[in-house]
Amino acid sequence: MNKAEIRQAQLAKLVRADNSWEKEAQELCLYEQLFALSCWKKAQTIGLTLSQKGEIDTKPLILQARLQHKRICLPRTLPQRQLQFFELQKTSKLEKSSFGIWQPALTERKVAKNALDLLIIPGLAFTAQGQRIGYGGGYYDRFLAGFTGDTVALAERQRFFTTAAWQTATTDQIVQQVLTI
């Protein structure tokens, strides 16, 4: 199967598994693994997305980061398939992107790429070697090119592949650590 076919199959599978106790139990295990990592412990500024239906819930990550006095930054899509991260504060204004994803308004405080210590990478499928299938725009691959911070992905069973069942491209960026159950 090509990436587009895997993307469609994964979306359907992940939406079916959403709101099940099994998915929530797996997420709890993934949160524990993440919070035990040295890259989480040392990170002061963390980039992640606000989760949507079918994704790993990121609200517990935001809460834990706030309890530990870490800065959380959210991405906003820009022209030419670029990402810019903005700091999430209690008073931040958010708006829906053309993809239906909550993102910071352009008036919020920008965060430089090199100021991010850790990125939690979203995706539909991940391998143990850090290969991933995202949502098809290439935004994260472009952003990760030249990114020097740590990268981690959370992959419950439905999102994890032992080896890539897809053809990788030279522009695909590797996630440093993929946590799974």
DSSP label at residue 84: E
Residue found by looking up tokens 């790993």 in the block: 56
How many separate helices (H) and strands (E) can be counted in the chain? 5, 12
In eight-state DSSP terms, residue 181 is -
Q: Are the C-beta atoms of residues 160 and 133 closer than 8 Å to each other? A: no
Collect all residues with Cβ–Cβ distance below 8 Å to 57 and sequence separation of at least 6.
27, 51
Q: Is the pLDDT of residue 102 over 90?
A: yes
Instruction: Give yes or no for residue 99 having a pLDDT over 90.
Output: no
Give binding residues as ranges. Answer: 3-7, 50, 55, 132-140
More confident residue, 155 or 167: 155
Looking at the DSSP assignment, which residues form a beta bridge with residue 86? 74, 110
Average pLDDT of the chain to the nearest whole number? 94
Domain that holds residue 160: 3-180
Q: Which positions make up the binding site for ATP?
A: 3-7, 132-140
State how far Cα 128 lies from the chain centre.
16
CATH number assigned to the domain comprising residue 154: 3.40.50.10420
Indicate the annotated binding residues for substrate: 50, 55
Residue 66 token pair: 């706030």
* Number of CB atoms found within 10 A of residue 152's CB: 23
- Calculate what percentage of the chain has a pLDDT beyond 70: 100
Torsion sign (Cα): 57, 152, 127, 50: positive
Q: What is the pLDDT of residue 19?
A: 77
CA dist., res. 72 & res. 108, Å (int):
13
Q: How large is the average pLDDT for residues 100-115?
A: 96
pLDDT in tens, 1-34: 889 999 999 988 898 888 789 999 999 999 999 9
Q: What is the pLDDT of residue 18?
A: 81
- Number of structural domains the chain divides into: 1
